Amino acid sequence: MTKDGLMDRARRTVQEAQHVVAFSGAGLSAESGVATFRDAATGGQWLKHDPMRLASQQGFREDPDLVIRWYSERRRNVARAEPNAAHRTLAAHERVMNVTQNVDDLLDRAGVKDVTRLHGTLVRDRCNAGCGFEEPIELADPPPFRPCPACGDHMRPSVVWFGEALPAGAWERAADTCTQCDAMLVVGTAAEVYPAAGLIDVARASGAAIIVINTQPSAASGSADLELIGPAGEVLPALLAS
Ligand code: OAD
């Protein structure tokens, strides 16, 4: 099918769907200048750094300063970034539910009212010992490695590291949304990290049409009913245009 033919079919699928969910990953924010993890063309962090040193309990125990410095750099970068056309398009279509793996706040800043976050957020810190203390931080001026004011252990970003469970309730909420949708837009994710990537199967098993939007084929390609190759900032506005 031609590119135009694919886009027409995808548009019709979305228009006919009652419930649409956008399941997004780092590619959604790539055009805002936020680095991805596995895509060399967009700063793939895990192609340059060992994720176990920067995003695991073991890495934090071994060199907490290194971990916090890396997150501070990412936080400052996100503070400088602006939502792009893809974030703005999702915000403009309130009927599209948002489930994201992203830890930046660009969907929120674009005006999306309700985001289910599978991997936490950069805009908060929490106690690493799990005493329950957490607080908002300034992305532009992130705090250094510091003790938890409540229990004396250490503060860390409120994000999910390798080997850790998803935030309480996040999976249940996301799975509910994906079970109810008729169309899922899989936007800018390599779909390699589980359990998050399993949401594509959840939606598919519930009968939803899977529309994959990515600059290149990905692990989600095999599950796609329709695959739209191109940058999310161009494809999403075209797809959701009325
Ligand atoms: P990845 O970096 O693994 O994948 C990003 C995907 O976006 C790739 O498939 C790119 O081809 C695609 N891409 C790049 N630019 C794009 C654009 N402008 N438009 C559309 N697609 C584009 O990022 P994720 O799949 O989000 O986990 O990674 C999943 C998780 O792995 C992250 O949430 C993070 C990481 O470890 C945690 O932090 C827990």
Mean pLDDT of 13-17: 97
| Whether the predicted pLDDT of 163 surpasses 80 | yes
CA–centroid distance, 191 to ligand 1, in Å, is 8
Ligand 1 pocket test, candidate residues 36, 52, 160, most atoms within 8 A of CB = 36
Between CA 242 and CA 237 the distance in angstroms is: 10
Q: Residue 242: its pLDDT value, please?
A: 73
| Whether the predicted pLDDT of 169 surpasses 90 | yes
Per residue in 176-186, pLDDT (tens digit) is 999 999 999 99
How far is the CA of 115 from the CAs of 23, 54, 176, 193, in angstroms?
10, 25, 14, 19
Q: Residue 1: its pLDDT value, please?
A: 81
Nearest ligand 1 atom to the CA of 55 is 38
| Whether the predicted pLDDT of 201 surpasses 90 | yes
Between CA 86 and CA 96 the distance in angstroms is: 13
| Ligand 1: lining residues by beta carbon, under 6 Å | 25-27, 30-31, 36-39, 42, 44, 55, 101, 119, 159-160, 188-190, 192-193, 213-216, 218, 231-232
The single residue listed with the structure tokens 């909420």 is: 173
Per residue in 118-154, pLDDT (tens digit) is 999 999 999 999 999 999 999 999 999 999 999 999 9
Per residue in 42-81, pLDDT (tens digit) is 999 999 999 999 999 999 999 999 999 999 999 999 999 9
Instruction: Quote the mean pLDDT of the chain.
Output: 97
Ligand 1: which residue has its CA nearest to atom 6? 189
Q: Residue 218: its pLDDT value, please?
A: 98
Per residue in 203-221, pLDDT (tens digit) is 999 999 999 999 999 999 9
Q: Which residues does residue 126 pair with via DSSP β-bridges, in sequence order?
A: 134, 156
- Terminal alpha carbon distance of the chain: 22
Residue 4's pLDDT band, with cuts at 50, 70 and 90, is confident
Query: Taking the complete model, does pTM exceed 0.85, yes or no?
Result: yes
Mean pLDDT of 23-48: 97
Residue 49 among the catalytic residues: no
Using N-to-C axis directions, what is the helix angle for 232-240 and 3-16, rounded to 10°?
A: 60
| Whether the predicted pLDDT of 102 surpasses 90 | yes
| Whether the predicted pLDDT of 14 surpasses 80 | yes
Q: Residue 114: its pLDDT value, please?
A: 95
Mean pLDDT of 168-191: 97
Q: Residue 3: its pLDDT value, please?
A: 87
